Every structure is written in structure tokens, then in C-alpha cells.
Amino acid sequence: MAKRLLAMVGLALLVLSVACSGAQTGASSSGGASGGSGGAAKEITITMSEFKFDPAEIRVKQGERVVLTLQNTGAAVHDLSIKDFNVTSPKVQPGQSGKVEFTANKTGTFDFICAEPGHEAAGMKGKLIVE
């Protein structure tokens, strides 16, 4: 009976840890008041290399929760920063990936850059269009 109880508790802890581990793998920034319906986030994968983002233009809707998965296929450390939304991703090492999440709470066209020294000047920038 005790072994069965321990097994059930262990299983419950395993399920809990798996559920919680997917919650966040990088820095998260909420660009202000959360809008939207609380539904699923718009997930976008951006590949980072020397010295570009692919895609360099992303489109989302106002109020949408956005999750950016950043894959670094380059040889240098990269990140992603969107100053207008107070978003800064973690530094992503070569061959690694990271995530950043925010709410697109205002419309317009906004720049995103790699904030690593010299990367923006080398052309590592893009546009976030919020409709």
C-alpha cells in the first residue's frame, strides 16, 4: 500500500514538473497592459545568424500575445530587443535557442534589433508590424 501511494505521489510530481517546465525558457516581457482574449499565443520562430534575422519582418495583431522562439544558427552570440515594447531576450549562444514573450498592445511599425555590440550596425535588424 505504501509503495502504491509513493508511486502515485511520484507520478503526480512528474506531471507537475512537466507542466511547469514548459512555462518559460527565457526572459519574458509584457509590453504593458495585456490585451487580447487570453487565448493561444501567436508563436513565431526567428532564425538569427551573422548578421540577420529570418524573417526580418513579422506581423501580429494588436492585443495578441506573442511568443518568439529565437534559434541561433550563427557563430556569435545574438539576442533580440524591441525597445517600444520593453522586450529584451536572453543572449542566445551559437547552436542554442531561447524564447521571449510579450503582448503587442499598440499598433504601428516597430524596429527590432540584435543589441550585441556592432550587430545592429552590421544590419541585424527587422520590423515588427502590429495591425
Tens digit of each residue's pLDDT (9 = 90 or more) over 41-57: 999 999 999 999 999 99
Domain CATH for 74: 2.60.40.420
Range of the domain at 103: 26-130
- What does the pLDDT look like over 81-99, one tens digit per residue? 999 999 999 999 999 999 9
97 and 91 in contact (C-beta within 8 Å)?
no
Average pLDDT over residues 61-70: 97
115 assigned to some structural domain: yes
Quote the number of domains for the chain: 1
How much is the average pLDDT of 23-29?
36
C-alpha span between 125 and 115 (Å, rounded): 9
Q: What backbone torsions phi and psi does residue 69 show, to the nearest 5 degrees? A: -100, 125
* pLDDT (0 to 100) of residue 40: 86
Average pLDDT over residues 100-112: 97
Q: Quick check: is 110 in a domain?
A: yes
pTM of the model: 0.70
The candidate with the shortest Cα–Cα distance to 46, out of 23, 79, 20, 24, is 79
